[in-house]
């Protein structure tokens, strides 16, 4: 994916933020869209009681969620305002326990087709100021017109 | 997977519940372990602001999380108290928008090896009293001794 | 997926066979379409030098190939002659070494959408007359009009 | 994965080649190990009748096979001669039709754990001298002692 533009149109960025901020699940976790460039996106999340698993680490489901969201918003930077995308599927590998105070997911578009977009994300946990890779995701997104939120994933 | 026993030892069930209830992320969503038999598990979750995406449906990340948990606890029914499992990876397909008031994930073990367990889960959304399939997951779990919570996923 | 019809239209079956027999890779392995019903498909394959890995078992790539093909032809039973499908992606777990003289993949459609079809397959190896599960696959197929073989997967 | 060494020990390279050349399925396709460095591997394959699908492109199963092999041998460069690996599972996205005369898979290790290795591969098709990305794979490998070829994948 060669993305020649390195900054995102301001109006487009606001539209993506508005969509992100309307996601109750992400807001309940204080997730933030910390960076967006064409074809890429970064999301971060602070440690809290409601993102833990039983040993006090970040929960795998939380890691999967922000990886999925990071890939999805990376795709949306190339689609909005004409169209947007839904996750058709994703696959995630957990490679280290997510012990730390912040979780960061970095998504990028690998291939942007007309109907399907393939994206990936890496998730890092920040512990004592150092980033450590904790998960790797690969994902297929389905492009839909911006106006039809109720369309079926298939 | 032929599981001849159809009920779970009471002490084992309590141990699994204790582990489940210690997961802050699942508790924040009011997720419940609604059924456990050897090699199988059901988890359900009510609709609320903190499990929504931007259109008011259940969030894909929430769906992924309870699918992953349902597969993991299905495996744990065969492992606890000697050992337990961590998700090494999972893959989930979203097949319909999750519009409804309750989400139900049903996980089952497909193959229980000594080191790796393969499980699957189907996720249903209940709308006006009817269940509809909304996601399908396939997962690899890594078996670890019960005493060592900090072991690396690899 | 409820498939009320249990047999396939004869002309449709011939059209699927013709497509299958045009696949050089499958023909080189003497793969056969051994059963087709609406939404389901079975493919089998005999052991030979050109389907082995280094220990003399069926090669994982061969197992992945016929799992993918079994899911794809299961989908095609519902699509042909109006449209057909391409694999957008698949995920496969290997659960036992494939030691035996015949490999059998059984694919079925889990969800048939207008643009995407989700299918699964189980692969069995036959050894001394007994079937053993050796792999499990989950797959996303992309529906295209029958006339346009060159369309991009996305 | 930081791999400081950039060349592979000669004896190790020969051992990997020997293993590769013992794979009947890969040999039948004239697949070649074209590059190996610690944690990375490249495999290539010429177009032929026995690697085609019905439209004359490289078969998706062939693409999946060499992607899986490229990730596996990338892992083996870090494991051999003490141990080796088996594919526990892989997931592959097809992103463009594989039209061309040569297929090249480049695998690399993303995380090397004691029991599990996570690897990825990109597959390119060469058409009129130009490489085009046609598939992306993510994979989990299971580490086994070098002496025990019959161990179960789990």
User: Can you tell me the ipTM of this complex?
Assistant: 0.91
Of B117, B152, B153, Cβ closest to residue D154: B117
Mutate to test the interface with D, among C43, C47, C64, C99 (most CBs of D within 10 A): C64
Query: What would the two tokens of residue A74 be?
Result: 């990376």
- Cβ-nearest to B115 among D89, D115, D117: D115
Nearest residue on chain C to A111, alpha-carbon basis: C154
User: Three-class SS of residue C35?
Assistant: strand
For chain C, the average pLDDT equals 92
Query: Chain B residues with CB inside 8 Å of D154's CB?
Result: 111-118
Nearest neighbour of A54 by CB, restricted to B22, B53, B60: B22
Q: How far apart are the first and last CA of chain A?
A: 25
Contact flag C120-B111 (C-beta cutoff 8 Å): no
List, in sequence order, every beta strand (DSSP E) within A16-101. Answer: 32-37, 40-46, 83-94
Query: For residue A50, what is the nearest residue in chain B, using CA coordinates?
Result: B25
Nearest CA in chain A to B27: A50
Which residues in chain D have Cβ-Cβ distances shorter than 8 Å to B118? 89, 154
Closest CA of chain A from B38, distance in Å: 22
Query: For B11-34, how does the pLDDT look when each residue is reduced to its tens digit (9 = 90+)?
Result: 999 999 999 999 999 999 999 999
Q: How close, in Å, is residue C113 to chain D by CA atoms?
A: 19
Interchain pair B55, A149: CB under 8 A: yes
Chains touching chain A, criterion 3+ CB pairs below 8 Å: B, C, D
Taking contacts as CB-CB distances below 8 angstroms, the residues of chain A near C91 are: 91
CB proximity list for A45: less than 8 A, separation 6 or greater: A29, A30, A31, A32, A51, A58, A62, A66, A102, A103, A104
Which positions in chain A touch D113 (Cβ < 8 Å)?
95
Of A91, A113, A154, the CB nearest to C117: A154
Q: Does the pLDDT of residue B44 top 50, yes or no? A: yes
A124: chain D residues, CB-CB within 8 Å: none
- Quote the pLDDT of residue B41: 97
What does the mean pLDDT of chain B come to? 92
pLDDT for the residue numbered D1: 41
Residue C6 banded pLDDT, cuts 50, 70, 90: confident
Alpha carbon of B31: minimum distance to chain C alpha carbons (Å): 26
What pLDDT is attached to residue C150? Answer: 47
In the predicted structure, residue D20 carries a pLDDT above the cut 50: yes
How do residues D32-66 score in pLDDT, each as one tens digit?
999 999 999 999 999 999 999 988 999 999 999 99
Helix (H) or strand (E) holding D4, with range, is none
The answer to whether A89 touches B61, Cβ cutoff 8 Å, is: no
- The first and second tokens of residue B2, run together, are 């032929």
Whether C113 sits inside 8 A of A140 (CB atoms) is: no
Give, in order, the Cα–Cα distances in Å from B110 to each of A8, C96, C122, C132: 45, 12, 11, 13
Q: Domain map of chain D by residue range?
A: 10-145
Q: Answer whether D152 sits within 8 Å of B113, measured CB to CB.
A: yes
* Among A97-106, C9-18, D95-104, the least confident range: C9-18
Report the gap between the CA of A118 and the closest CA in chain C (Å): 9
* Subunit partners of chain D (3 or more CB pairs within 8 A): A, B, C
Rounded to a whole number of angstroms, the distance from the CA of A98 to the nearest CA of chain B is 10
For residue C62, the chain D residues in CB contact (below 8 A) are: 25, 61, 65
pLDDT tens by residue, C134-148: 999 999 999 999 865
Which residue on chain C is closest to A113 by alpha carbon? C154
Secondary structure (3-state) at D119: strand
Poorest-pLDDT segment among A2-16, B107-121, C112-126, D104-118: A2-16
Local confidence band at A57 (pLDDT 50, 70, 90 cut-offs): very high
When mean pLDDT is compared across A24-28, A53-57, C127-131, the lowest value belongs to A53-57
Nearest CB neighbour to A110, from listed D91, D110, D136: D136
Residue of B nearest to C117 (CA): B95
* For residue B94, cis peptide bond before it (omega within 30 degrees of 0): no
Q: B152: nearest CA in chain D? A: D113
Q: In what order do the strands lie in the sheet with B130-145?
A: A32-37, A40-46, A102-112, A116-127, A130-145, A83-94, B83-94, B130-145, B116-127, B102-112, B40-46, B32-37
The reply to whether CATH 3.40.50.1110 applies to domain A10-145 is no
| Chain B residues with a Cβ under 8 Å from any Cβ in chain D | 88-89, 91, 111-118, 140, 142, 152-154
Contact call for D112 and B88, based on CB within 8 A? no
Q: State how far Cα B61 lies from the chain centre.
A: 13
- Give me the pLDDT at residue A6, please: 77
Nearest Cα neighbor of B43 from B68, B60, B25 is B68
Q: What is the pLDDT of residue A119?
A: 98
pLDDT band at B91 (very low <50, low <70, confident <90, very high): very high
Q: What is the pLDDT of residue A5?
A: 60
Residue D124 in this model has a pLDDT that exceeds 60 = yes
Tokens at residue B133, please?
């399939």
* pLDDT computed for residue A79 by the predictor: 95
Binned at pLDDT 50, 70 and 90, residue D114 comes out as very high
**Token pair 């040993």 in the structure block, residue:** A55
Q: What is the pTM of this model?
A: 0.92
Nearest Cβ partner for C118 among B95, B111, B118: B95
Q: Which residues of D touch A110 (CB under 8 A)?
A: 93, 95, 133, 136
Task: Give every CB contact of residue B25 below 8 A, 6+ residues apart in sequence.
Answer: A50, A51, A52, A53, A59, A61, A62, B65
Q: What is the pLDDT of residue A129?
A: 95
Indicate if the pLDDT at residue C120 is higher than 80: yes
Structure confidence at residue B150 (pLDDT): 47
Q: How many CB pairs under 8 A join B and D?
A: 41
Q: Using an 8 Å CB-CB cutoff, list chain B residues near C120.
A: 136
| Cis peptide bond prior to B113, omega within 30° of 0 | no
Cα angle D89-D95-D99, degrees, rounded to a multiple of 5: 110
Neighbours of chain B (3+ CB pairs under 8 A): A, C, D
| Letter string b/e over residues A99-115, b meaning 16 or more CB atoms within 10 A of that residue's CB | ebeebbbbbbbbbbbeb
d(CA B139, CA D92): 15
């Amino acid at each position: 994916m060669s993305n020649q533009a390195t900054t995102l149109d301001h109006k487009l960025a606001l539209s993506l933020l508005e969509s992100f901020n309307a996601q109750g699940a992400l807001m309940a976790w204080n997730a933030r869209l910390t960076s967006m460039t064409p074809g890429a996106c970064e999301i971060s999340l602070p440690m809290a009681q409601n993102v833990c698993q039983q040993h006090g680490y970040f929960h795998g489901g939380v890691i999967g969620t922000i990886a999925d969201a990071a890939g999805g918003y990376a795709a949306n930077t190339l689609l909005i305002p004409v169209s947007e995308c839904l996750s058709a599927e994703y696959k995630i590998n957990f490679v280290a326990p997510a012990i730390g105070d912040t979780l960061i997911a970095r998504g990028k578009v690998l291939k942007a087709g007309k109907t399907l977009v393939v994206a990936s994300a890496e998730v890092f946990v920040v512990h004592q100021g150092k980033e450590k890779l904790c998960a790797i995701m690969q994902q297929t997104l389905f492009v839909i017109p911006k106006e039809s939120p109720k369309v079926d994933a298939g």
